[in-house]
Amino acid sequence: MESRLNYYGNPFAGKVLKHLVSASKVLMDSTLPHNIRHLVEVRASQVNGCGFCTDMHTKEAIHSGETSVRLNLIAAWREATVFTEAERAALELTEQGTRIADGAGGVTDEAWANAAKHFDEEQLVALMSLIAVINAYNRINIINQQPAGGYVVGQFS
């Protein structure tokens, strides 16, 4: 499979990506735990079917010390015993925030309240923003049919 165009080499796309990358850097510096960030990026990418982002974020998570057991169980997190309550709350918010069109009411009050038990206001803002940013990246890569499998850790650093 080949991408429809060289999005990452396109000058206009570079102007767009500059802002997404800037938002991503702000989120990396937030107080949201890094392991939560990795779980959110992988789960949203799985839900959206973005192979490129799933490849990228699982490799980055492994590089940061995440285990293969936990990464392999993200798609089945509800049945898995390897995630904390905070991680579960973040994964639920990620799924509901990613599948907005699938539910008539968007994100439920219950999912929000559960996340608010585990994260302070800054972390909630970071979590919401991270969900939005990874969904934007997923959509760009899916629309462009960006091939998966060749990502190298730190490629976009």
Q: 104 pLDDT band (50/70/90 cuts)?
A: low
Is there a domain that residue 82 lies in?
yes
- Total domain count for the chain? 1
Q: 146 pLDDT band (50/70/90 cuts)?
A: very high
Phi-psi bin for 80: left (phi > 0), alpha (psi -120 to 50), beta? beta
Q: How far apart are CA 133 and CA 33, in angstroms?
A: 17
Is there a domain that residue 50 lies in?
yes
Is there a domain that residue 120 lies in?
yes
Q: How far apart are CA 111 and CA 132, in angstroms?
A: 16
Is there a domain that residue 152 lies in?
no
| pLDDT value, residue 105 | 76
**CATH code, domain carrying 21:** 1.20.1290.10
Q: How far apart are CA 70 and CA 143, in angstroms?
A: 29
- Length in residues, the chain: 157
Q: How far apart are CA 67 and CA 80, in angstroms?
A: 14
Tokens of 84: 């904390």
Is there a domain that residue 36 lies in?
yes
Is there a domain that residue 153 lies in?
no
Angle 91-85-30 (CA atoms, 0-180°, nearest 5)? 65
What's the mean per-residue pLDDT of the chain?
95
Q: Determine the structural domain holding residue 71 and report its residue range.
A: 7-143
For residues 45 and 134, is the Cβ–Cβ distance under 8 A?
Answer: yes
Query: Which tens digit of pLDDT belongs to each residue from 13-59?
Result: 999 999 999 999 999 999 999 999 999 999 999 999 999 999 999 99
Angle 24-26-32 (CA atoms, 0-180°, nearest 5)? 90
Is there a domain that residue 12 lies in?
yes
- Which residue has tokens 């959509």? 139
Q: 101 pLDDT band (50/70/90 cuts)?
A: confident
Is there a domain that residue 105 lies in?
yes
